[in-house]
Structure 1
Amino acid sequence: MIDYKIAVIGDIHSNYVGLERCIEHALKQNPDEFLFLGDYISDCPYPQKTMKIVYEMDRDYKCRFIRGNREDYMLNHRKNPEERWTYSSASGNLLYTYENLTERDFQFFESLAINGYYEREGYQPFRYCHGSLVRSNEILEPNGENTIQIMKGLDVNLLISGHVHFQEEKVYDGKKILHPGSVGVPWYFDGRTQYMMLHGSKRGWEAEFFQLDYDVEKLVKDFETSGLNEKSLAWSKITIHTLRTGIDHNLACLTRAKELCKEAEGSVNWPDIPEKYWQQTLREFGIAD
């Protein structure tokens, strides 16, 4: 049986520069198709540039798409206009992204499921998702109790999952889970953009992981020219730090800013976290102001 290749692209987060690099690299290997695992947008500037590439890929190549939690955020916000997003460190990035999406983007997100089942004659079937098979924002951490239970009940021998921004292959009771890494805001490997090539044969599916250098500073410049720095404030600084280093502090910084707010004011109500607590958080984590 001839090796069948699927380029797996996950967690782009509007990083069109990293996406272009991964697609360029993948095409040189002549993949038979592409599998996109969601989180196409948010965190990085100019989401419209990423979506343009996504639509071109759908037009020119055989592709499968699912949606991630970031697309769900956008869809839910559209359905619930009373949800208040502001230009601030807490929600400015979400609002900026939302305002740069088009009707075509919303329709595309609506058309996507949060999981998929892959089958092809002569190859073992597998399932794929962004977070988990039932929730786009569920995190399947290594050896997490939920991960173990999901893998125990899996009806196939392979699950491919995004959402976590690192690359991993792990086996639970003979069933394999693969995390392809993040194209857009990758962890580890000094921030190099990541994707996975899946090789299929009669023996099953094997992963080949890639970490690629790309023009990070071109993307960082876009944070300024797009106005995103002014609209998402500390969140942009935290994201840029991850892009340059591969060290992620997003969740830890959010948690700390909320803690500082609660300690000083007695309560915290996202997204109303005063900027002074974000600035203190940046100092504590050593992220340049």
Structure 2
Amino acid sequence: MTLAVISDLHGNYYALSEVMEFLRRQQIDGIIGLGDFVTDGPFPQRMMGVLREMQEEFPCYLVRGNREEYLLENLWQPQNWKAGSSTSGLLDYTFRNLTEQDLKFFEQLPTDGVLIGKLDEAGKLVPVFVPQEEVTPDTCRESLFPALRLCHGAPGEIRGNFGLHPELLLSHLENLDASILLGGHSHKQEQKEYAGKTYLNPGSLGLALDDVGGHAHFAILTLENSTWQIECFQIPYDLEGYLAEFDRAELETHGSVLARSLKRTLTCGINYFYLTVKRVRELADALALTDLDEELWEKAERELK
């Protein structure tokens, strides 16, 4: 059995299309998706089209990311996002370019759970996803392959960040009932072993932080002798073509400074998206972003050049 693991696509349908072409040559049995499928990129409807194509072609086991959470929170209670704002313009653009069907799809995604092995009616070993609220003490023990715990940030905490809080990772691995913990969110590809368990972050498919840029990161798990073998990949995609889509969508008119920071991050693999947000918070002396003055965003952008 061979399963691909992807995470943090952030609307990059160019990268996803390239990865799917790669996976078609690998005889993949399914795709695990760890959230943040949309937001920030141009033409969200195109990303949704490629996602649906992926689901039609491969068995998929998907969980929700924090970016989907933001969109759903705006659906349940409008967040006063504004077009043209560096603070919220990209989120507003994505939300307005998604359909009711798209949002319902994200609403139905589980936040985390475990992937276990069972026999189907033909006696073939197949993956079965169990949402966390249905997991029992016996769920992982009864799995016919080493169980996989799926989450976006951390188990039970969709916005948890092991990159910022590595001590939390050790605690989760100590108490993990599965064999491997699969998570994303930090956009950095990594694999760690602790307490006889494994943590795998496949990296970001759409916005990889690798100090290089223009590469889609993901991983492939292969079941051999009742053990998961892990291989990590970084493959190039048409970055110039994708950046041209930003101009066609006039994304800077929607997201201003943050749209430019996103393009810069894609180009060099350094997280200017986060660094810009961080500097704006410092300049505003605020932990949370509200609808801040564009002058603060522009100042942060100048300082980071």
**Is 1:280 the equivalent of 2:277?**
no
Query: Whole-Å Cα distance in 2 between the matches of residues 153 and 189 of structure 1?
Result: 33
Which stretch shifts more, 51-60 or 172-181? 51-60
Report the 3-state secondary structure (helix = DSSP H, G, I; strand = E; otherwise coil) of the residue aligned with 2:37.
coil
Residue of structure 1 equivalent to 2:168: 146
Tell me the CA shift for residue 269 of structure 1.
Answer: 6.9
- Whether contact under 8 Å (1:261, 1:274) holds in the other structure is no
Tell me the CA shift for residue 142 of structure 1.
Answer: 7.7
Residue of structure 2 equivalent to 1:126: 148
Which stretch shifts more, 124-133 or 93-102? 124-133
Residue of structure 2 equivalent to 1:240: 263
Which stretch shifts more, 135-144 or 219-228? 135-144
Q: Deviations over 1:70-95 (max 9, x none)?
A: 101000111112x2111211110110
Change (3 A) 1:236 1:146: same
Query: Whole-Å Cα distance in 2 between the matches of residues 240 and 232 of structure 1?
Result: 11
- Whether contact under 8 Å (2:220, 2:232) holds in the other structure is yes
Q: 1:252 aligns with which of 275, 280, 284?
A: 275
Q: 1:177 aligns with which of 196, 199, 209?
A: 199
Equivalent pairs counted in the alignment come to: 278
**Is 1:165 the equivalent of 2:187?**
yes
Q: Deviations over 1:211-233 (max 9, x none)?
A: 11111111111112112111101
- Whether contact under 8 Å (2:14, 2:242) holds in the other structure is yes
Amino acid at match of 2:34: L
Tell me the CA shift for residue 38 of structure 1.
Answer: 1.1
Query: Whole-Å Cα distance in 2 between the matches of residues 98 and 233 of structure 1?
Result: 17
Deviating above 4 A after TM superposition, structure 1's stretches of 4 or more consecutive aligned residues are none
Report the 3-state secondary structure (helix = DSSP H, G, I; strand = E; otherwise coil) of the residue aligned with 1:123.
coil
Amino acid at match of 1:157: S
Q: Deviations over 1:103-135 (max 9, x none)?
A: 111111111101121111442112111111212
Please give the TM-score of this superposition, normalised by the length of structure 1. 0.92
Query: Whole-Å Cα distance in 2 between the matches of residues 268 and 125 of structure 1?
Result: 38
**Is 1:20 the equivalent of 2:17?**
yes
Q: Deviations over 1:15-74 (max 9, x none)?
A: 000010111111111111111111110111111111111112212221111111110100
Amino acid at match of 1:64: Y
Query: Whole-Å Cα distance in 1 between the matches of residues 76 and 294 of structure 2?
Result: 28
Query: Whole-Å Cα distance in 1 between the matches of residues 36 and 272 of structure 2?
Result: 18
Report the 3-state secondary structure (helix = DSSP H, G, I; strand = E; otherwise coil) of the residue aligned with 1:166.
coil
- Whether contact under 8 Å (1:258, 1:273) holds in the other structure is no
Query: Whole-Å Cα distance in 2 between the matches of residues 104 and 73 of structure 1?
Result: 17
Query: Whole-Å Cα distance in 1 between the matches of residues 289 and 189 of structure 2?
Result: 31
Change (3 A) 1:198 1:220: same
Tell me the CA shift for residue 270 of structure 1.
Answer: 2.9
Amino acid at match of 2:204: S
Matches within 5 A, 1:192-231: 192-231=215-254
- Whether contact under 8 Å (1:124, 1:202) holds in the other structure is no
Query: Whole-Å Cα distance in 1 between the matches of residues 184 and 287 of structure 2?
Result: 30
Cα RMSD, aligned residues only? 1.6
Query: Whole-Å Cα distance in 2 between the matches of residues 78 and 29 of structure 1?
Result: 38
Query: Whole-Å Cα distance in 2 between the matches of residues 171 and 106 of structure 1?
Result: 36
Query: Whole-Å Cα distance in 2 between the matches of residues 142 and 278 of structure 1?
Result: 23
Report the 3-state secondary structure (helix = DSSP H, G, I; strand = E; otherwise coil) of the residue aligned with 1:113.
coil
Query: Whole-Å Cα distance in 2 between the matches of residues 104 and 272 of structure 1?
Result: 29
Query: Whole-Å Cα distance in 2 between the matches of residues 127 and 258 of structure 1?
Result: 34
**Which stretches in structure 1 are left out of the alignment for 5+ residues?**
none
Amino acid at match of 2:60: C
- Whether contact under 8 Å (1:91, 1:232) holds in the other structure is yes
Q: Deviations over 1:254-274 (max 9, x none)?
A: 121122234xxxx78733211
Please give the TM-score of this superposition, normalised by the length of structure 2. 0.87
